[in-house]
Amino acid sequence: MHKLISFLITCIICTSIFAKPDPDSLKTFHLPTIRVVVGKPSEAIGSLQQISMQDSKDVLSLREALSNIVGISASVGTKDESNLKLRGFRKHELKIMINGRPINNGYFGNVDISKLSTLDIQEIQVVKGPASPLYGSGSMGGVINLITSEPSTQYWLSLNSTIKRNNTQELQISSSHGFPAWNYRIGIAGLRSDGFMLSKKFRPTFTENGGVRNFSAKEQYTFSSSINADVFTFHKLGLDVSYSGMNHKDIPSSIYERKYRQYKDWMRYNAGFTGEFRLSGNTVLTSLLSYDGGGDRYLEYNDAQSQYINVDSRMDNQSWGFAPRLRYQSNSNSIWDFGYRYELRSNRRKDTGAYPVWKTNKLQSHSVFCQYERIVKDNIRLTSGLGISSGLLAEPALGVIYTSHSGGKSSFAMGINTAPPTMRQLFSYDKGNPDLKHQSSLKLELSHLQPLVLDAVTISCSGFYNICRNLIDLQGNKYQNIYKFISEGAELGIILSPIPCYEFKADYSFLEIKKSSDYRLTESPKHSLELSHQLKLPADCVLTTISSFRGMRYSLDDMGVYHRLKEYWLHDIHLLIPWQSFSFRFGVDNIFDADYQGEYGFPEAGRDFSMSIEAKI
């Protein structure tokens, strides 16, 4: 490992020394937006997948928006929280961000994207392979960056209403507009559901009768706003604030156990102050001050009438962050980035078990980074970077993108990314271990994209190889660094557009682990496949069908026993009808009412109908 780190650092230094700038090149100015960390795939090091939310207006959470992406598993776990996995990496090994600002991952190290609203989210950026040092530390499993929409200069108001089965409905109202020197965005959303319907093929258990999924009702409200302004012509300042809350939510338990649980006073809130300052014609300083928090009260009862309480737990999480970044463009072909990230996290806990009085734990993290991007011979773009986080952990990265004259694009990326222990793994009363090391992974990725036959056919493929060390899990009664494993896989894609009004897409993912211990990937299938057909009809209407396959998976129950979950197919159909400033969407999800489980004991939704109306004024 030390030799590999030395080799990567040498590559970075050599790149900087020998890639001499062209003295006769014209200077150009590149102002990165202050709302995102990276603006293009080369800055991300590993391949950057960009998912537009324009075609996902009928989804009710970010978990639903990511559920049809190969290489991603987005199941729901024991406390109704999303268990997001990228290429097998677990939820607390991922970094979730909004406009480049890390979201507080709480005591358990998990950002629950099943409770994150899609309000004003324009795009989801996904990095599954090696992550750029620009993201900071904690990105061993990958990065999900949520990008909010740009204020429109044509519309003032946007309304979106979605209706699904079993009295499920969401209303989003957003107002935004851009002016020459400033812009604003403000939106509210309300989501209410009596719970989702199970498949008619579901076999009832002693605790679950079928029909509506027990304790799956919810009611949630979200508020989001931002304002950005130019200052003295050359500088920009921005402020954004958001809040999301639920007064009460029942929590569905495993269909094989009797537990009656609920959340009370669940909330998330954050604020960020950003600045972009042009120091000279080729130097820009961006800075971010952020505050992120949340909390909930978790209750567990011995009876369905909520009379005999077993657990009463209250948690509050807060984090403060500071992240300046200096970008220097030495010439039209070379860009330097220097930055620093600081984060202070605090958790407060009190319950009827091991924490009878409030217990507070705090963590500080620091990371610095340097990244250099260079265009070589017009068709080769080289990016090298180095991040150093708390404990002097080095995270070097190297990426090369080659663009051929035929329009093909090949890329190679490698890097070392880490994931710190969660607060639970460090400070839990009965299982915590303050001596835990950071988890780390050496990640390699090779990919190619090639348009063929007058761009009517596009083929993409990527292969990846990960060497993971010091993986944290329970050993006996304590968390320990006990696992080392190697995972490898490939992702293949094809887009066919033989005629202008028709497009076919196919995406396939293969994932395998080479075991050196008894560690297993859970909820991550070895094979997954997505097939979609899109047909443009008269009057700009669009008909889309999506077929999803997920192979056999392993899933772990509360007793530590592994179970095999069966493979399954899902089929969806959606119709978009635009009319003037309105858009009407109609859809049927899980057309054949398949019965399947996301995790052992947690069945997913059966057939569902949706109708969505969007208006822009």
Q: What is the pTM of this model?
A: 0.91
Task: Spell out a b/e string for 453-475, using b for 16 or more CB atoms within 10 Å of the CB, else e.
Answer: eeeeebebebebbbbbbbbbeee
pLDDT of res. 516: 65
More reliable by pLDDT, 188 or 10: 188
Q: Whose CA is closest to 531, among 543, 544, 542, 547? A: 547
Strand 143-148 to 95-98 pairing: parallel
State percent of the chain over pLDDT 90: 74
More reliable by pLDDT, 154 or 219: 219
pLDDT of res. 520: 84
pLDDT of res. 583: 94
- Distances 397 to 106, 401, 598 between C-alpha atoms, Å: 28, 14, 34
Mean pLDDT of the chain: 90
Per-residue pLDDT band for 435 (boundaries 50, 70, 90) equals very high
**Which tokens hold the place of 466?**
């990960």
pLDDT of res. 41: 83
- Tokens 């002097």 -> residue: 392
Report the C-alpha gap between 197 and 607 in whole angstroms. 7
- In three-state secondary structure terms, 537 is coil
CB < 8 Å & 24+ apart, contacts of 492-497: 492/460, 492/461, 493/459, 493/460, 493/461, 494/457, 494/458, 494/459, 494/460, 495/457, 495/458, 496/456, 496/457, 497/455, 497/456, 497/457
The DSSP 8-state label assigned to residue 14 in this structure reads H
Q: Say if residue 27's pLDDT is above 70.
A: no
Q: Whose CA is closest to 372, among 129, 5, 27, 43? A: 43
Chain-centre distance for alpha carbon 368: 23
**Which tokens hold the place of 481?**
């660094």
pLDDT of res. 515: 67
For 284-296, the pLDDT digits (tens) are 999 999 999 999 9
pLDDT of res. 299: 95
CB 199 within 8 A of CB 593: yes
**Which tokens hold the place of 398?**
């190297």
DSSP string, 341-395: EEEEEEEEEEESSS-SS-EEEEEEEEEEEEEEEEEETTTEEEEEEEEEETTTEEE
More reliable by pLDDT, 612 or 153: 612
**Which tokens hold the place of 87?**
């290429």
Q: Say if residue 23's pLDDT is above 50.
A: no
For 37-53, the pLDDT digits (tens) are 787 888 899 989 988 88
More reliable by pLDDT, 24 or 213: 213
**Which tokens hold the place of 462?**
């990527």
Residue type present at position 392: L
- For the chain, domains (ranges, CATH) are 2-20+45-616 (2.40.170.20)
The DSSP 8-state label assigned to residue 434 in this structure reads T
pLDDT of res. 306: 83
For 358-402, the pLDDT digits (tens) are 999 999 999 999 999 999 888 999 999 999 998 889 999 999 999
More reliable by pLDDT, 55 or 193: 193
Query: Which residues on neighbouring strands pair with residue 177, listed in sequence order?
Result: 184
For 236-294, the pLDDT digits (tens) are 999 999 999 999 999 999 999 888 999 999 999 999 999 999 999 899 999 999 999 99
pLDDT of res. 36: 62
Q: Say if residue 57's pLDDT is above 80.
A: no
- Phi then psi dihedrals of residue 338, to 5 deg: -125, 140
For 304-352, the pLDDT digits (tens) are 888 889 999 999 999 999 999 999 998 889 999 999 999 999 999 999 9
pLDDT of res. 7: 43
Chain-centre distance for alpha carbon 374: 28
Q: Say if residue 11's pLDDT is above 70.
A: no
CB 228 within 8 A of CB 238: yes
More reliable by pLDDT, 56 or 500: 500
Q: Residue 238: CB partners within 8 Å, gap ≥ 6?
A: 34, 35, 226, 227, 228, 229, 272, 273, 274, 275
The DSSP 8-state label assigned to residue 131 in this structure reads B
For 73-108, the pLDDT digits (tens) are 998 888 888 899 999 999 999 999 999 889 989 999
For 514-530, the pLDDT digits (tens) are 866 677 889 999 999 99
For 193-250, the pLDDT digits (tens) are 999 999 999 999 988 989 999 999 999 999 999 999 999 888 999 999 999 999 999 9
- In three-state secondary structure terms, 23 is coil
CB 286 within 8 A of CB 37: no
CB < 8 Å & 24+ apart, contacts of 525-530: 525/73, 525/550, 525/551, 525/552, 525/553, 525/567, 526/551, 526/552, 527/551, 528/70, 528/71, 529/70, 530/68, 530/69, 530/70, 530/505, 530/506
For 469-490, the pLDDT digits (tens) are 999 998 888 999 998 989 999 9
Q: Say if residue 22's pLDDT is above 70.
A: no
Half-sphere exposure of 131 (CA within 13 A, CB side): 31
Query: Which residues on neighbouring strands pair with residue 248, listed in sequence order?
Result: 264
- Tokens 């994932």 -> residue: 511
